[in-house]
Amino acid sequence: MKCLGQVERCADITQEKFYNDVFQKQPVVMPGKIAHWRALQTWNPDFFRSRYGGVAVWLSRYDPASPRSFLQQNIDYDFREASFAEYVDQLSAPNGCYSIRESIGLLKANPELLDDLDHFRPFGYSKEPADDQFMALWFAPKGGVTGLHIDVGENLLFHLHGHKHVLIFAPDQTRLLYEEDLQQLAEPGLADRIDADTLEMWRSYVRWSKVNAFNPDFKRFPRLEGAAYLDAVIAPGDALYIPCGWWHAVRSLDITISVSKSLFRDEFLRAPDPADPAGRSTTWELRP
């Protein structure tokens, strides 16, 4: 595989520049825009253990050393439930390979966490009804991997703790990435083991690759050797935009915490509304 370089970092991006030069065209890292979020100073494993230790969370496991693909391991459904305290306690254990992957309910069930995120300003706004937007928590051990996939939607990832390594492939690389046949998600008996909402999400909102981008096997997947990608290491305070249709794989370089949300075009990088009673002062500025 060939690295084409680093994903552009653009600290002074504006709404106009984003929609003219970046939106649906290329990924970008936007550092500094969430420097005012309280979560950057407070969210860590001990915070969640002490405040939410009794909350039940679903844990998923992806083993990048397995010959089974990311989708196949999801079909195997190696999920388990634990309390947040139990999860934090096993993060540094030798078998600490489970992740809280795309936990949607936690943020909505605990709205005080949205205060720590300043309701996603300047990438969101309090007028967005919480029930109408996608938002999720990601929590992973060192070495935790999310396999190569596409999310059907504009992808915004806000990184709060630790460091992540991200490989991103443009849509024109798809023919080299051995996309999975989703017919396997219609196999008899699958609906008896996996809840209907999860199956619908896997079938309709995710496209999956068979390959492990971090440890490529060119003997099994020879076309992969010709694939080209962009590289990024994101740190606390970085916001990463990945356009719809772009493949990406993520590896945690240490224990990591991130949140993701849907992109509301009218509110994205928009100046705060002074008439909003929930408005908060921020350290960012929308430049002309």
Rounded average pLDDT over 208-236? 96
Band of the pLDDT at 34, cuts 50, 70, 90?
very high
56: which DSSP letter?
E
End-to-end, the C-alpha distance of the chain in Å comes to 40
120-152 confidence digits (pLDDT tens): 888 876 555 555 667 889 999 999 999 999 987
From 5-9, 129-133, 179-183, the region with the lowest mean pLDDT: 129-133
Which class would CATH give 2-261?
mainly beta
Would you say residue 288 has pLDDT above 50?
A: no
Here the tokens at position 146 are 């999310």
36-82 confidence digits (pLDDT tens): 999 999 999 999 999 999 999 888 888 888 899 988 888 887 678 88
**Is the entire prediction scored with pTM above 0.85?**
yes
The alpha carbon of residue 72 and the mean position of all alpha carbons in its chain are separated, in whole angstroms, by 20
pLDDT at 270: 64
Phi, psi dihedral angles at 52 (to 5 degrees): -130, 25
- Measured CA to CA in angstroms, residue 13 lies from 17, 22, 23, 157 at distances of 6, 10, 12, 16
HSE-up of residue 189 (Cα within 13 Å, Cβ side): 3
Q: How far apart are CA 260 and CA 139, in angstroms?
A: 11
- Ranges of each domain in the chain: 2-261
